[in-house]
Amino acid sequence: MNPLDRPIWTALATRQAEFAVGGPRALRYQSDVEPFAAVASDTEENVKELAQLLIPGETHILLQAEPSPLPPGVELLDQAAGVQMVAARAITAPKPPDAIQLSDADSQEMVELADLTRPGPFRPRTHCLGTFWGIRREGRRRHPSRLAGT
């Protein structure tokens, strides 16, 4: 299997395992990090185990190359095609002028801005997944971005 066929599983089973909840069949991110979840493969046993990990009333996102079977008791709210980009080489980006590296202390402002601009799922500890930068103008943060390769 190509690791990019199941990018969430690959991340949670390898380099982002510290953020994983679950076991060898099914994993999800800790709720305050991301809403993504995945199974190792689409077997009935794995999908049932995933159902046990999902939090009632929360929205969870499944992302893989082939359509995901729904776990028992889960309702499909939306379905869309995703685009996956792969860098052909390592990319380094200069620090934006006037940028400061954001930390736990900036989490609330990052979530508020993400809620306002809707760039995708962003939760109180999403910033723990990488390096995020922000620029303050007149005491307010603008344009936080995650730089490639950081």
Q: Are residues 7 and 55 in the same domain?
A: yes
The reply to whether 8 falls in a domain is yes
Range of the domain at 142: 100-146
Number of domains in the chain: 2
Q: Is 95 inside any structural domain?
A: no
Highest mean pLDDT among 21-25, 101-105, 110-114: 21-25
- The whole-number pLDDT of residue 140 equals 64
Q: Is residue 28 part of a domain?
A: yes
pLDDT higher than threshold 60 for residue 144: no
> Do 58 and 8 sit in the same domain of this protein?
yes
Of 97, 82, 96, 83, nearest to 150 by C-alpha is 96
Q: Is the pLDDT of residue 103 over 70?
A: yes
Burial 25-49 (b: 16+ CB within 10 A, else e): bbbbbeeebbbbbbbbeeeeebbeb
Could you please report the per-residue DSSP string of 57-105? T---EE--SSPPPPPTT--------------SS----PPPTT-EE--GG
Q: How confident is the model at residue 147 (pLDDT cuts 50, 70, 90)?
A: very low
Does pLDDT of 98 surpass 70? yes
For residue 93, the model assigns a pLDDT of: 83
Is the model more confident about 12 or about 95?
Answer: 12
User: What single letter denotes the amino acid at residue 114?
Assistant: A
Residue 48 lies in a domain: yes
Residue 136 lies in a domain: yes
- pLDDT digit string, tens, across residues 122-135: 999 999 999 898 88
Residue that has been written with the tokens 């971005």 in this structure: 145
pLDDT digits (tens, 9 = 90+) for 6-62: 999 999 999 999 999 999 999 999 999 999 999 999 999 999 999 999 999 999 999
Task: Report CA-CA distances (Å) from 115 to 92, 106, 124, 126.
Answer: 28, 14, 11, 13
